[in-house]
Amino acid sequence: MNRARMIDSPAYATARPTLSVLIPFLRDDPTALLQCLDGEAPALEGAVELVVLDDGTGDATLTTALMGEVGAARLPVRLITLPTNEGRSQGRNRLATAARGRTWLFLDSDMRPDRPDFLQAWLALVRQDDPAVAFGGFSLLQAPTDGQFAVHRALAARSECLPVEVRRLTPEKYVYTSNLLVRRDVFESEAFDPGFTGWGWEDVEWAMRVSRAHPVLHVDIPATHMGLDTVESLMRKYEQSAANFARVIDKHPDIIATYPSYRAARKIRSIPGRGVLRGMARAWALRDGLPVASRAFALRLYRAALYAEAV
């Protein structure tokens, strides 16, 4: 395991947190998020800590700047810097070992709270209901509106940024580690599977396991996903995720069989020349001049064609 370097804020040593906010990052700069959260410090009175993990970025300038942020923070903050990357699952498992609170909030570094009392709302939920697992929701309220991200915005609005009433219909499906509350005892019984590599599905698979033993609560404490991707970047992520999709099928065939992505992949699997279909969908999605809705459909078709090789 990597030898980690740790830096603590002045308030860290004496704090006795109820809630630990766990923030992993790789090559992103979490400064804006840390500053936003630190604005709630007076109202929290040490009940919430931040644990931030640099999963092998290797940027000395960024590390130095973050050390300055941590030194000036009013919240209890620990910054953990790894010399090399450990991966999404293992990195989050490492964050969990550093958490001191009884309940943890996994929050991605490219998220921005949509309400000024974001941490206060989560803390109130913990104190009142003590949920095993809760997801606060995504939004696009603060996300960039550049044309290069239009397709991702369309996809996210359709499949991820859903109202709480919709998410509650299939609670295990709409769980992402970007705004996810987990009680310590639940995570200690079901950690993230380090067998997942690259991008995608490790959080959904974890929720599938957990949902067999614990209720998954959906609440309205949203944050904006600021890190929208270009079509090219999404394609690279989808290509990485195909093996992870196959791993989910192997572990949870009963649940994944109900997902539209699985049913679409099964249909494409039976089509002769599906490689040609995949190539056409890819080319269509990459054409800038076409309507955003049609490019988003083509990108979903491209993903389904990739997953067809795994079903």
Residues 172 and 239 in one domain: no
- Higher pLDDT among residues 86 and 309, named by residue: 309
Residues 235 and 200 in one domain: no
Query: For residues 80 and 23, what is the distance between their CA atoms, to the nearest angstrom?
Result: 10
pLDDT at residue 1 is higher than 70: no
pLDDT tier for residue 2 given thresholds of 50, 70 and 90: low
Beta strands in the chain (DSSP E): 5-8, 19-25, 48-54, 77-81, 103-107, 111-113, 133-135, 138-139, 179-183, 216-218, 223-225
CATH number, domain containing residue 195: 3.90.550.10
Beta bridge mates, 112: 224
Query: For residues 125 and 181, what is the distance between their CA atoms, to the nearest angstrom?
Result: 10
Q: Report the candidate in 53, 134, 50 with the shortest Cα–Cα distance to residue 93.
A: 53
User: In this structure, are residues 157 and 140 in contact, taking their beta carbons and an 8 Å threshold?
Assistant: yes
Query: For residues 298 and 286, what is the distance between their CA atoms, to the nearest angstrom?
Result: 9
Residues 213 and 260 in one domain: no
| Of the residues 228, 255, 279, the one at which a domain ends | 228
Q: Which domain holds residue 81?
A: 5-228
| Of the residues 202, 228, 254, the one at which a domain ends | 228
| Of the residues 197, 228, 259, the one at which a domain ends | 228
Q: CB count, 10 Å around CB of 114? A: 19
Residues 19 and 106 in one domain: yes
Joined tokens for residue 67: 């050390």
Cα–Cα separations (whole angstroms), residue 128 to 123, 137, 147 = 9, 19, 43
Total-model pTM: 0.89
Residues 170 and 285 in one domain: no
Residues 261 and 124 in one domain: no
Model pLDDT, residue 193: 84
Query: What is the number of domains present in the chain?
Result: 2
Residues 142 and 273 in one domain: no
Model pLDDT, residue 168: 95
pLDDT tier for residue 311 given thresholds of 50, 70 and 90: confident
Residues 45 and 94 in one domain: yes
Residues 112 and 173 in one domain: yes
pLDDT at residue 35 is higher than 80: yes
Residues 163 and 29 in one domain: yes
Residues 184 and 67 in one domain: yes
Residues 132 and 255 in one domain: no
Reported as a single tens digit per residue, the pLDDT across 69-93 is 999 999 999 999 888 877 766 777 7
